[in-house]
Each structure stands twice: as structure tokens, then as C-alpha cells.
């Protein structure tokens, strides 16, 4: 199998290295002149041992599992895992909740895992959602990937499905993870920017890593600025295995789909939300559960065999690739409902420890080199962060099924094992003493025996599978599957990010990569930066044209339902209470949450009684809501028309393509004077409930210049 490394792929390797063609046509990076390489320039381990390859972990064959003997990978990951204390290095800012997973479509023919064994079987869960780049004190709404981790407390032990809201990742091999995170974190010499990828070091790394281009399409899309944690998808990312009771295996990908549908914000809205409510997503999740509006996700699996995998134009072990749903429709197996907030944020959300190596019988790993690195990385992280090998005894991490072994002592040991047997095998039971637990060959976990992927000679190599070299086909698939204005959002996001990059050669390199994805995209970015398009970057493997996948678009699948949405109604003294009550009742009937906004909080006299606002106008900007309406008298409307907070309230709602309901005074005194013209989403209050909370993206070209 061929390695995918080429000089074009690693421009940083131009000095001191040559790329030579091997007997099988593969390329190998070799030192061109060892003597010419300056001692200070040679990459080494912490023990001073020169590193020959910093791009690929050591594997048992090109598509085989990563090897624990890879001391370069082990040291690099080990050091990275322990760089921060005590908050998580990545995914530091998180929100979580308890719930239950219910099996709705048993799959015993595919897996012996008990949680999928019978219809109606329920398993307690704890789910944590998070941003990736920022620290624990950063805001909720930056452009970023969202973590989506679920701990299943099964009757066979804990299973942690640890993924993201995006089905692919930036890198193919775990050995590059420290480099990726170092690049996106605050720059080392200045300590900023926080929770942002729009800076030199991140885009410098990305421009040198063509394998990241598919993920960049997702990260620059609206998927990276979600409306709510309740409205994100979740993906296991990697290819896993399912193994049934007879030992037969299948490949599997896991997908969570939110019952409320996937919804995003727009960039200007996300920026303003960060200022108006830094805890926007955390508050939204907590309040929804607190009100009994429990968020729910359906769990789907994409199951396939070796024959299917071999027939695809990409490698299923490559975490920068996905399987389009149109090619392999997902199968629903269950539903997760989150129904209880944590009692204590620190004890549960902050001390929860997830690890992809935590699996149960019936679920197993593939040789995905990114997954292989994660399997031994997470334990290192938990030890440093939680301070003890006994972190599994914390209530949030403890299994809810019986747990017995011979592990003893250690810092913060809270269990009190009895008897003198702390080793196995032992024969103490023959003398009438407690001998302790024993192996369970019939029911215990057994690793799938053919995990070398069956087609590899087993040589120890630092290479990647041949198909790993295609870095652009699926990036193009994602871009072409978006609506026109989603493509414009994506291009504009790249323009914004690169406008913050001060090193011109980095911008040029990124644009040269974009030309391999789509010429129109590259041209839009170049025009937005007022730069000339550079030549397309050389490719390691020719791009394959793939059929568009509508499932990858948010807008093509959007359903404008009221359920789970928050709608604001602006009023003032003298407003018609009956009109407001009608709006409130309609919002509630649709499953939404009404929120009354006024210039002042506290009881106010209105026509038909009194009303109290849920929030004050200046502190409740329209960016916090999915749709807005206003019921107000002419004199109050004239007064509000002079108030900047009121002007911004309506202008932002209009600019963010939201549905706006108005009364006659609002239209005459505020909307008309602000230049907000009626359209399909600016309607009288009598029509508001039939339309809200839909977004009206056809309004966007009138409002802002997009790339």
C-alpha cells in the first residue's frame, strides 16, 4: 500500500528532505543530506532521539492497528495530555445532563451489547456537550467544533461514545493531535486569541495539512455556530465494530440526530450573543430541562461489511472521511432523552471522565489511526486532571453494575476491599477464605480476533493507506451539497478568518488548497481578501467526483417548528393584554417558550390588567430569541423609536433573517422609519404564529455583502 506523503503535502519539508519513489510506486520521505541538517533543527524526542517521521504513528501494516511500542507517539501524546491542570486541555467548557437511552429497534443479529438487546430496554446516561478550543471560562458561541460525549451506564459496564457534532476530524493520525491543538490554542508568545481559530498559527498548520480541508469546510460552515446544544447532531466519527454472540462482525458508525432538528445561528448573531449572554448554550440546555422540555436525540447506526468498505473511493479507517447517508442510510436503534440537570456542576459535569477505550462486549475498535491513539491517550488525561487512578470511583464515573477486581490502594482510594487476596490466580478459596473474582470466558469482553484488517502483510511501518491521500473529494462533496447561501456563509467565514491571518504566505497556501476543492469557492475567498488566486496546490491523489449529499445541509433539512424555540414579545405601558395573551398561548401551544420584554421589569399597567416583563429591553436583545413580535401603542412606539436598544432589537432580528410580528404602531413608528419593509417574514401579528419561527434566508442578499 502506498504512503500518501508528498512534497506538495508537506511544504515545511522542503529543506533537508527529498521524496523518492519506491519499488511499488510509493513515496518515502528521506533525509537528503544528514550532515547538512543542523543539529538544532533536528526534531527529537525528549530523550534527544531524532524523529524520522512526525506525520504517521507506527502500525502493524499500512492499515493495521497502531503499536504501543511507538515511543515517539507515546511520549508526544503523554506530554500533551499533561500540559494543563486542572481543566481539560480541550473541551474545557462543557454543559451536561443526566438522562436515559431507550432501545427502540433491537439489533442482536449485529451486536451482543445488552443495551441493544431488546425493545424498550432502558440504560441510564450522562451526556456532556462542549466547545473545543476555549478554556472553561470562555463563551458558549464561538465558531468551533462541539463535543458530544455520552456515558452509557449499561448492565455490562460503562460505554463511552465520545465524539463531536461534526462527523469528520482535522487529522488522520493521532500523532498530529498535539500539533493541531497547539496551533488553534492561544498563541504561545502572547496568550491570545481565546476560543478562536482566526489567527496565524492555526491557519499556518492547516495550510500545511491538506488532510484538514474536509474538516475546514465543516468548521467554516454554519455547523460550527449552532443555535442550541439541543439542536446539534452527534457523531462517533470513527469506524467501530459490532460483534454478535456468534462472533460475526460488522463495521459501524454512530450518529445522533436531534428531535428538534439541526439549527444554526448566523455569524453576526453568534458574535452578539457572546456579548449579550456568554452562557447562552449552557443556560438554554439547563432551562429547557428545568421546565420539563426534555431534549431528545435518536441514535442511528451505519452498518457495513468489508466488501462495502473496499468498494468505496475512500478508506473507512480515515477519520477525515464520512459515509454519505444517501449511500448508506442510517438505521435507528434507540432514543436518548435528557431529563435531569446535575445537582452539582463540579462533582458531575466537571469531574466526569470519558474515554473511548471504555466499551462493552459487542462493541469493538477498528484500526483507525486516530482512534488508536485516543484509546491510550484519555487515561493519561484523567490521571493528571483528576489526580488519581481511582477517578472511576467518583459517583459520576462509577458503573451502575457490579465491579470487582484486584486493583488496590492508590491516591484517594475510597473503597475498602476485604480479605487478603489482592492477586490472581490464588487458591485462598480452597482454604475457606475470600478468593476474589475470576475470569469470565463465556461472558467477558473478547477482542475481535481479526483486527489486523485481513489484507496487510503485518510489517511495522510509518505509513498511511493509499486512499488516505485523497484530501479533497469529500471536502468538495460537502461544499457542493450546501444551499447557495450556506456556500456564501462558508466562503465568508474563510474570508473573515484569513483576514485575521497576518502572514501572507499562509493565506496564499490556503487559497491554493481551496482551488482543489472548488474554483468558485477559491475565487470568492480571493476576491474577499483582494488577493490574486495562486496556482492550485499539487495533490497526492486525484480528486473523485461524488454525488451531492443533501443530508449534509442544515437548510435543506430544516423544519420551522415552534417546539423548543424561544420567542420574544415586546410590550410597554398601555399595550393590549388580550393581543399579548393570544401570542403567548399560540407559542405555548406549538411547544415554544414565550418571553416578555419591556423597557422596564416589574408590573406595568396595560389595557386589560397588568403585565410583568421576563426581561428588560437593553438586557434582552433579539439575538437571544428565534423570532420576535411587538404589541405597543402609538405614543410608546414613538418613544421607543428614539431608543437605540429598541432600534437594534428590530434591526438585528431583521438582519438575522428572523420572523418579525408587528402591530400597526410598530410598523408605522419603528419598522418604516428603520427601513424594514414587510416581506414573507415581516408580518402583522395576526399572521405571526403561522410563520414563526422560520428563518428567511432569501432576505440576506439585501442585508450584507457575502463572499
- Residue 7 C-alpha cell reads as 512534497
- Residue 232 C-alpha cell reads as 446539534
Annotated active-site residue in 4, 56, 91, 489: 91
The DSSP-derived string for 81-148 is HTSS-SS-SSS-SEEEEEEEEEESS--TTT---GGGSSTT-EEEEEEEEEESSS-TTS-S-SS--EEE
pLDDT digits (tens, 9 = 90+) for 530-579: 999 999 999 999 999 999 999 999 999 998 899 999 999 999 999 999 99
Q: pLDDT at position 86, please?
A: 74
Helix, strand, coil percent values for the chain (each to nearest 5):
35, 20, 50
Alpha helices in 117-253 (DSSP H): 177-184, 200-207, 213-219
Question: Mean pLDDT, to the nearest integer, of 512-524?
Answer: 98
Mean of per-residue pLDDT scores for the chain: 90
CB 328 within 8 A of CB 308: yes
Q: pLDDT at position 542, please?
A: 96
Question: What is the number of residues in the chain?
Answer: 707
CA distances to 174, 185, 194, 634 from 135, in Å: 22, 9, 8, 47
Q: Cβ neighbours of residue 402 under 8 Å, at least 6 residues apart?
A: none
Q: Look at residue 171 and tell me whether its pLDDT is greater than 90.
A: yes
pLDDT digits (tens, 9 = 90+) for 40-98: 677 777 777 788 888 888 888 888 888 877 878 888 887 788 666 578 889 989 999 99
Task: Give the CA angle between residues 134, 392, 77 to the nearest 5°.
Answer: 50
Q: Decide: helix, strand or coil at residue 187.
A: coil
CB 161 within 8 A of CB 254: yes
- Residue 267 C-alpha cell reads as 455569524
Lowest average pLDDT, out of 112-121, 234-243, 401-410, goes to 401-410
Annotated active-site residue in 56, 164, 165, 358: 164
Contacts 24+ apart (CB under 8 A), 178-181: 178/76, 178/77, 178/79, 178/80, 179/205, 180/205, 181/80, 181/89, 181/90
Q: Look at residue 2 and tell me whether its pLDDT is greater than 60.
A: no
Q: Look at residue 688 and tell me whether its pLDDT is greater than 60.
A: yes
Q: Known catalytic residue: 91?
A: yes
Lowest average pLDDT, out of 3-17, 558-572, 676-690, goes to 3-17
Q: Known catalytic residue: 164?
A: yes
Share of the chain above pLDDT 70, in %: 93
Q: Which domains does the chain have, with CATH numbers?
A: 86-195+225-393 (2.40.180.10), 468-556 (1.20.1370.20), 563-702 (3.40.50.880)
Q: pLDDT at position 446, please?
A: 79
CA distance 456 to 453: 7
Cβ neighbours, 10 Å, residue 354:
22
CA distance 227 to 554: 12
Q: Look at residue 29 and tell me whether its pLDDT is greater than 60.
A: no
pLDDT digits (tens, 9 = 90+) for 582-591: 999 999 999 9
CA distances to 17, 217, 232, 492, 546 from 529, in Å: 33, 18, 31, 10, 29
Q: Decide: helix, strand or coil at residue 366.
A: coil
CB 229 within 8 A of CB 281: yes
Give pTM, 2 decimals.
0.88
Question: Mean pLDDT, to the nearest integer, of 689-699?
Answer: 96
CA distance 296 to 318: 29
CA distance 237 to 4: 21
DSSP secondary-structure letter at 441? T
Question: Angle formed by the axes of helices 519-529 and 484-499, to 10°?
Answer: 40
CA distance 348 to 357: 20
Q: pLDDT at position 123, please?
A: 97
Q: Are strands 659-662 and 615-616 parallel, antiparallel or unpaired?
A: unpaired
Question: Mean pLDDT, to the nearest integer, of 503-521?
Answer: 98
Element (H, E) at 59: strand 59-60
CA distance 178 to 174: 8
CA distances to 232, 651, 678 from 644, in Å: 33, 10, 21
- Residue 256 C-alpha cell reads as 445522533
Q: Are strands 659-662 and 682-684 parallel, antiparallel or unpaired?
A: parallel
Amino acid at each position: 500500500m502506498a504512503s500518501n506523503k508528498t512534497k506538495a503535502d508537506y511544504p515545511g519539508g522542503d529543506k533537508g528532505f527529498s521524496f523518492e519513489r519506491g519499488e511499488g510506486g510509493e513515496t518515502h520521505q528521506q533525509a537528503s543530506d544528514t550532515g547538512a541538517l543542523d543539529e538544532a533543527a533536528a526534531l527529537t524526542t525528549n530523550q534527544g532521539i531524532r524523529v524520522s517521521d512526525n506525520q504517521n504513528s507506527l502500525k502493524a501494516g499500512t492499515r493495521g492497528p497502531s503499536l504501543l511500542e511507538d515511543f515517539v507517539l507515546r511520549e508526544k501524546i503523554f506530554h500533551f495530555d499533561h500540559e494543563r491542570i486542572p481543566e481539560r486541555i480541550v473541551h474545557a467548557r462543557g454543559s451536561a445532563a443526566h438522562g436515559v437511552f431507550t432501545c427502540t429497534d433491537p439489533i442482536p443479529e449485529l451486536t451482543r451489547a445488552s443495551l441493544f438487546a431488546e425493545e424498550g430496554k432502558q440504560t441510564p446516561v450522562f451526556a456532556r456537550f462542549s466547545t473545543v478550543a476555549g478554556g472553561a471560562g470562555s463563551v458558549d458561541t464561538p465558531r468551533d467544533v462541539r463535543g458530544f460525549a455520552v456515558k452509557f451506564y449499561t448492565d455490562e459496564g460503562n460505554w463511552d461514545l465520545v465524539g463531536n457534532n461534526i462527523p469528520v476530524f482535522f487529522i488522520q493520525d493521532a500523532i498530529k493531535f498535539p500539533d493541531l491543538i497547539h496551533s488553534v490554542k492561544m498563541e504561545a508568545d502572547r496568550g491570545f486569541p481565546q476560543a478562536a481559530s482566526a489567527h496565524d498559527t492555526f491557519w499556518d498548520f492547516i495550510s500545511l495539512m491538506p488532510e484538514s480541508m474536509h474538516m475546514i469546510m465543516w468548521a467554516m460552515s454554519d455547523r460550527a455556530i449552532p443555535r442550541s446544544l439541543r439542536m446539534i447532531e452527534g457523531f462517533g466519527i470513527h469506524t467501530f465494530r459490532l460483534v454478535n454472540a456468534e462472533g460475526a462482525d460488522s463495521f459501524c458508525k454512530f450518529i445522533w440526530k436531534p428531535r428538534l432538528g439541526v439549527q444554526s445561528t448566523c455569524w453576526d448573531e453568534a458574535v452578539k450573543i457572546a456579548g449579550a449572554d456568554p452562557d447562552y448554550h449552557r443556560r438554554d440546555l439547563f432551562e429547557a430541562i428545568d421546565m420539563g422540555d426534555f431534549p431528545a436525540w435518536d441514535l442511528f447506526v451505519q452498518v457495513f461489511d468489508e466488501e462495502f468498505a473496499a468498494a468505496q473511493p475512500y478508506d473507512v479507517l480515515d477519520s477525515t472521511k464520512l459515509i454519505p447517508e444517501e449511500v448508506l442510510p442510517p438505521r435507528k436503534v434507540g432514543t436518548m432523552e435528557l431529563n435531569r440537570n446535575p445537582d452539582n456542576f463540579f462533582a458531575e459535569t466537571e469531574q466526569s471522565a470519558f474515554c473511548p477505550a471504555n466499551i462493552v462486549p459487542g462493541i469493538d475498535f477498528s484500526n483507525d489511526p486516530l482512534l488508536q491513539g485516543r484509546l491510550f491517550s484519555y487515561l493519561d488525561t484523567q490521571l493528571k486532571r483528576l489526580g488519581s487512578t481511582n477517578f472511576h470511583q467518583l459517583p459520576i464515573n462509577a458503573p451502575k453494575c457490579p465491579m470487582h477486581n484486584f486493583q488496590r490502594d492508590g491516591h484517594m482510594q475510597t473503597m475498602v476491599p476485604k480479605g487478603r487476596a489482592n492477586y490472581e490466580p490464588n487458591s485462598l478459596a480452597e482454604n475457606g477464605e475470600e478468593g476474589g473474582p475470576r475470569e469470565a470466558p463465556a461472558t467477558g469482553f473478547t477482542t475481535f480476533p481479526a483486527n489486523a484488517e485481513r489484507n496487510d502483510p503485518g510489517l511495522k511501518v510509518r505509513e498511511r493507506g493509499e486512499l488516505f491521500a485523497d484530501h479533497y473529494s469529500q471536502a468538495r462533496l460537502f461544499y457542493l451539497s450546501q444551499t447557495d447561501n450556506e456556500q456564501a456563509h462558508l466562503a465568508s467565514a474563510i474570508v473573515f478568518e484569513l483576514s485575521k491571518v497576518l502572514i501572507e504566505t499562509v493565506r496564499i497556501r490556503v487559497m491554493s488548497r481551496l482551488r482543489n476543492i472548488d474554483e468558485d469557492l477559491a475565487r470568492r475567498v480571493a476576491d474577499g481578501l483582494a488577493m490574486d488566486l495562486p496556482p492550485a496546490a499539487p495533490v497526492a491523489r486525484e480528486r473523485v467526483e461524488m454525488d451531492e449529499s443533501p443530508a449534509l445541509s442544515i437548510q435543506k433539512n430544516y423544519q420551522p417548528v415552534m417546539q423548543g424555540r424561544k420567542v420574544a414579545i415586546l410590550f410597554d405601558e398601555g399595550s393590549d393584554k388580550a393581543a399579548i395573551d393570544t401570542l403567548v398561548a399560540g407559542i405555548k401551544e406549538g411547544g415554544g417558550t414565550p418571553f416578555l420584554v419591556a423597557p422596564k421589569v416589574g408590573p406595568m399597567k396595560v389595557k386589560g390588567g397588568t403585565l410583568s416583563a421576563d426581561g428588560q429591553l437593553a438586557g434582552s436583545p433579539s439575538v437571544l430569541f428565534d423570532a420576535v413580535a411587538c404589541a405597543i401603542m402609538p405614543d410608546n412606539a414613538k418613544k421607543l423609536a428614539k431608543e437605540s436598544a429598541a432600534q437594534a432589537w428590530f434591526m438585528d432580528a431583521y438582519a438575522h433573517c428572523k420572523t418579525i410580528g408587528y402591530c400597526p404602531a410598530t410598523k408605522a413608528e419603528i419598522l418604516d422609519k428603520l427601513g424594514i419593509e414587510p416581506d414573507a417574514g415581516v408580518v402583522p401579528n395576526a399572521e405571526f404564529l403561522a410563520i414563526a419561527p422560520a428563518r428567511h434566508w432569501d432576505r440576506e442578499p439585501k442585508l450584507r455583502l457575502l463572499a
